[in-house]
Amino acid sequence: MEKVELPIHKHPLLPFTRFSRDKCKVCGSYGYIYGGYRCNEFGCPEYVYHKACAESLPEINHSSHPDHPLKLLPSDEESACSQCRLMFKDGYNYICSICDFKLDLCCAKGSDPLLVLENSNLHEHPLELFVVKNSTLPFRSCKTCEFPVLENDLCYECHSCEYVIHTECAKFFPEANHTSHPQHPLKLLTFEAAPAYADMMCLLCGVKFDQLHKRLHHCDVCNVSICRPCMKNPPPVHVESPRTHEHQLHLVPRCISFTCNACGTQGDRSPYFCLQCNLMIHRQCIDLPHVININLHDHRISYTRRLGHGEWKCKVCRKKVDGFYGAYTCVKCPSFAVHSLCATREDVWDMRELEGMPEEEDNAPFEVIDDNTIKHFSHDHNLQINKDGNGRILPENIVCEACLLQILSEPFYSCEQCNFILHEKCANHPRKKRHVCDNQPFTLVIDTHDKFDPCWLCNQHFTGFRYATPCITIDVRCAAVSDTLEHGSHQHPLYYCGTFDYKPCSRCGNEDVCFFRCDECDYILDGKCALFPTKVMKNRRLLIYQAGISNKLKRRSGIEHLCL
């Protein structure tokens, strides 16, 4: 699929037919976006756009401001729309640079609000348009959304009583018809006023009605409820997505139990259905990315509609993968499989689609000069291999430049012109790698002589080589640990888990959001306890801290913990 150059974004945008529950970066509204555009560039935070928003004209003439053209420019979040008086959201708006006239996208593309609403189903009296100017007015709330009426809000007001309603809320009538439920009109209710038997989840998107989503449109006859975003922006009745299925898919707007053919999980409402193939799919599983990278595998993985016969276990959640439904697999590793929903989690996938893009070439950390000599990218001179340790231990002040651990009996590379030394295993650390603690690839950073940073995994300060993303830094020793850890303190394997909930370590009692946990008995080790070295040289940590054995550490002061 070819990318499109549009003025609202610095990168070419990729059209997509996926249902993405996200915030449009132009209009700033949140909800399901279908058939829009997304940025596929690495690390770009500006992600998803409505099709109509992304294709907004860079300059328009508008009846509300006939003197000058209006240009599409990034929002000033401290300003309000000159027409509806609503504060701008994070996104784009139409602005006159000459006289500071501003319109949000809804006002720029929509019709002007009526000055008076008469004979409206909203209220028995006429409603007049007004802008709230005096913040000292008695507190009032909108009769539809129940949110407060604030200064600069554009509202309709009844002069005969205290009825007031936002202009945006006036678009939602007490009773309205909907394409997904044409049999009966839907009544606008608060979730507290809904009948006890009502299904308190949106028929279409499944959002739960509560204090955060207070308003629903309900049919008493059929016990059907639809949220306001789905009323305003209903899902398409038909979808054509050749990457998902060769036939047209039809929305089934009803509560129905089904197994999604794309991901293999259960659904309970409003799937898309193929009449010819008896196939049902969640709307969020339409147009899943076909080729991606995840943080738990070194190779690209590809979506397949059916794995086939075999015993498959998901690399992410470690549960069984049913081969008769869609999943991700690796062409280079035949036994590798990941559930569709696990592979596309935001903490696992880097959010880039790679179909049609060439694979990046491996950038080796060193050039082989001969059987015993390499030229490592971190050093100006050639390094010689030393493999004949024969149990010989070098003086304690001889440490590896990468991990700052003492050279014991393992092979190492050394420079004949200076004191630069690398463990053989440290010399082989890749320039780029993926790790379970972030969805972005890590880059090996070597210019860190003056930096003491806390390691994300073990929480210990360290110097030496490190792996870094824009958000996370880990030392090279912790980076070598995979998502699975065998630890001497426990009989079962431990798996890395990153959450938003603090959990106490079973050994030291410290609480953290990142830890290693046993699936069978909920045994937990924090990063410090899980990754503490099992072999150290006679209180090596204390020697470095007190005596300053390494020249690089001698000049530092005030360091309480070092990651070794």
Look up the CATH number of the domain holding residue 415: 3.30.60
| Band of residue 45 on the pLDDT scale cut at 50, 70, 90 | low
| Band of residue 553 on the pLDDT scale cut at 50, 70, 90 | very low
274-279 mean pLDDT: 93
Q: Are 260 and 267 in contact (CB under 8 A)?
A: yes
Other Cβ atoms less than 10 A from the Cβ of 347: the count is 13
- Specify if 132 maps to a domain: no
How many domains in the chain?
A: 7
The pTM of the full predicted model, rounded to 2 decimals, is 0.79
401-425 mean pLDDT: 88
Are residues 183 and 71 part of one domain?
no
Q: Which two tokens mark 44?
A: 């770009």
Are residues 498 and 537 part of one domain?
yes
- Specify if 124 maps to a domain: no
| Band of residue 46 on the pLDDT scale cut at 50, 70, 90 | low
Are residues 102 and 23 part of one domain?
no
- Specify if 146 maps to a domain: no
How high is the pLDDT of residue 148? 74
Q: Is the pLDDT of residue 559 over 70?
A: no
- Output 462 or 343, whichever has higher pLDDT: 343
Q: Which two tokens mark 29?
A: 């509204």
- Specify if 296 maps to a domain: yes
How high is the pLDDT of residue 493? 92
Q: Are 447 and 377 in contact (CB under 8 A)?
A: no
Write the CA distances from 453 to 324, 448, 464, integer angstroms. 47, 10, 10
214-233 mean pLDDT: 87
Q: Is the pLDDT of residue 535 over 70?
A: no
- Output 172 or 371, whichever has higher pLDDT: 371
DSSP 100: -
How high is the pLDDT of residue 459? 86
- Output 145 or 240, whichever has higher pLDDT: 240
Q: Is the pLDDT of residue 539 over 50?
A: no
Are residues 297 and 277 part of one domain?
no
Long-range residue pairs from 161-169, CB within 8 A, at least 24 positions apart, any chain: 161/125, 163/123, 163/125, 163/127, 164/140, 165/122, 165/123, 165/127, 166/142, 167/84, 167/113, 167/129, 168/84, 168/86, 168/106, 169/142, 169/143, 169/144, 169/145
- Specify if 353 maps to a domain: no
Are residues 193 and 94 part of one domain?
no
How high is the pLDDT of residue 85? 67
* Per-residue pLDDT tens over the stretch 328-363: 999 999 899 999 999 999 899 988 899 888 888 778
Asked which of 392, 427, 462 is the last residue of a domain, the reply is 427
How high is the pLDDT of residue 543? 38
Are residues 556 and 457 part of one domain?
yes
How high is the pLDDT of residue 537? 53
Are residues 442 and 336 part of one domain?
no
Are residues 468 and 504 part of one domain?
yes
* Per-residue pLDDT tens over the stretch 80-125: 887 776 777 778 889 988 887 888 888 888 766 677 877 666 778 8
> In angstroms, how far apart are the furthest CA atoms of the chain?
98
How high is the pLDDT of residue 249? 95
Asked which of 407, 427, 447 is the last residue of a domain, the reply is 427
Are residues 337 and 256 part of one domain?
no
525-543 mean pLDDT: 64
307-323 mean pLDDT: 92
Q: Is the pLDDT of residue 289 over 70?
A: yes
Q: State how far the Cα of 171 lies from the Cα of 173, in Å rounded to an integer.
A: 6
- Specify if 153 maps to a domain: no
Q: Which two tokens mark 512?
A: 């953290």
| Band of residue 138 on the pLDDT scale cut at 50, 70, 90 | low
Are residues 326 and 208 part of one domain?
no
How high is the pLDDT of residue 552? 34
- Output 104 or 246, whichever has higher pLDDT: 246
Which of 42-51, 57-66, 370-379 is predicted least confidently?
A: 42-51
| Band of residue 137 on the pLDDT scale cut at 50, 70, 90 | low
- Specify if 114 maps to a domain: no
- Structural domain including 208 reads 175-232
- Identify which of 127-141, 411-425, 446-460 has the greatest average pLDDT: 411-425
Q: Is the pLDDT of residue 546 over 60?
A: no
Q: Which two tokens mark 368?
A: 């082989």
Other Cβ atoms less than 10 A from the Cβ of 310: the count is 10
How high is the pLDDT of residue 425? 92
Are residues 374 and 309 part of one domain?
no
134-161 mean pLDDT: 72
| Band of residue 52 on the pLDDT scale cut at 50, 70, 90 | confident
411-438 mean pLDDT: 92
Asked which of 217, 232, 247 is the last residue of a domain, the reply is 232
How high is the pLDDT of residue 262? 95
Are residues 321 and 301 part of one domain?
yes
Q: Which two tokens mark 239?
A: 């979808």
Q: Are 423 and 430 in contact (CB under 8 A)?
A: no
**% the chain with pLDDT above 70:** 88
Q: DSSP of 358-385, one letter per residue? A: PPPPP--SEEEEETTEEEETT-SS-EEE
Q: State how far the Cα of 43 lies from the Cα of 11, in Å rounded to an integer.
A: 12
Q: Which two tokens mark 513?
A: 């959001």
* Per-residue pLDDT tens over the stretch 188-198: 888 888 888 88
Q: State how far the Cα of 79 lies from the Cα of 99, in Å rounded to an integer.
A: 14
Which of 314-323, 412-421, 535-544, 548-557 is predicted least confidently?
A: 548-557
Q: State how far the Cα of 464 lies from the Cα of 453, in Å rounded to an integer.
A: 10
- Specify if 29 maps to a domain: yes
